[in-house]
Amino acid sequence: MKRNQNRFTDILVVVIISCFVGMISGAAAIISINNKNASKVETSGFNEVSALYDKILNEYYTNVDEDTLIEGAMSGMLSTLDVNSSFLDQNATNSFNNRMKGEYYGIGIEALTLNDVGVLVVGVLENSPAEKVGLKDGDIILSINGISLKGKTASYFTSLVNSLETDLKIKITRDDKLFDYTLSAEKITISSVSTNTFLKEGKRVGYIKISIFAANTASQFTTKLQELESSGIDSLIIDVRDNAGGYLSNTATILELFMKKGTVLYQTETKDSTTKRKDLTDTSRNYPVAVLVNGSSASASEVLAASFEDNYNSELIGTTTYGKGTVQETVSVLDGSSTAKITTKKWLTPKGVWIDGKGLEPTIKIEINDKYLTNPIFENDNQLSVALNTIVKK
């Protein structure tokens, strides 16, 4: 019984202390607190929570899983904070880490749970093991190495792929026909940056779409930008529509490619102080840049858009952004298997405006048309069309 009390107290102290630990934005930290430190916390609140935990374990009418109880306690604490502070269990942590690292070990599919059948393939990454053997959107994976996926989740499938070290024998159904594939998992690099070029009124306009600010996004952006510039672009459109954010440090690296040294890229504010993040590089550019935004452009996307508007005189084209003006930092808990996301600061535009709950108003407001929503191709994108017509006049 005493062991359970100590374990629960350790976890509580880890989470609460993490609220006061400052870290570099976007970076994860592992905080470990031993029993000696935990014994220093002797508040009535801790004692009451520990007593309740002990009573549930010993007197609840049926068996209770200790890990589930502890996860519930962590999730409950974080749920009392703002909406962006949250607890991620092991499966959610693995998915979050893979997406934010920009790479993971797997076969290169996006999957959804299909109750009582298997796992539904809803996306196949280009040049992935899955694409090479012929897996397609809409395939239903029934089993892997003879292990049935009936009644299993997509997270279970991902964990299974990660745990198997042999070739993967996958059975699928497609159009009521059964198919068998053999493939091997490998490191998958997620591309978060894509490009195009458009000729408009005799000018070459570069286009860069950023889907997320992952750990490798800045390096991908730099490479793609250099390729566009080598092709002789006169201007650039950066598209962060539907980009929910990511690492603030990667956003800063991208901004430093354009802004002059000493320029305030954005500001952050804690309970005690405000810090101005300035451009520290000698690199800058001066050709016109426009930024496409919409209601799903959030957090780091809004940081980038605000900095281009305030510092580079860029047009923001589209609809009002989401309005997420806070920064979260992650803490690994439960021996690193799970994650606590905690809001530790606000971010402000270069001019010191907090856009939380309000968003950024575009300088040129235009709703996306139904034609594009039905068939999302460049030719139907009226927001992009307005951006092209605008930027060639700069």
The CATH code that applies to domain 103-189 is 2.30.42.10
Which residues of the chain are modeled with pLDDT < 50? 1-41
Cα-to-chain-centroid distance, residue 321: 17
Q: Per CATH, which fold does 193-391 belong to?
A: 2-enoyl-CoA Hydratase; Chain A, domain 1 (3.90.226)
pLDDT for 157 equals 86
pLDDT for 53 equals 87
From residue 353, give the alpha-carbon distance in Å to each of 15, 240, 308, 365: 30, 20, 14, 20
With 0-12 CB in 10 A as exposed, 13-18 as middle and 19+ as buried, what is 330? Answer: buried
With 0-12 CB in 10 A as exposed, 13-18 as middle and 19+ as buried, what is 125? Answer: middle
Residue 278 and residue 264 in contact, taking contact as beta carbons nearer than 8 Å: yes
pLDDT for 350 equals 98
pLDDT digits (tens, 9 = 90+) for 324-337: 999 998 888 888 88
pLDDT digits (tens, 9 = 90+) for 118-131: 899 988 888 889 99
Question: For the chain, which residues make up each domain, given as ranges?
Answer: 2-86, 103-189, 193-391
CA atoms of 184 and 5, how far apart (whole Å): 44
pLDDT for 44 equals 64
pLDDT for 158 equals 82
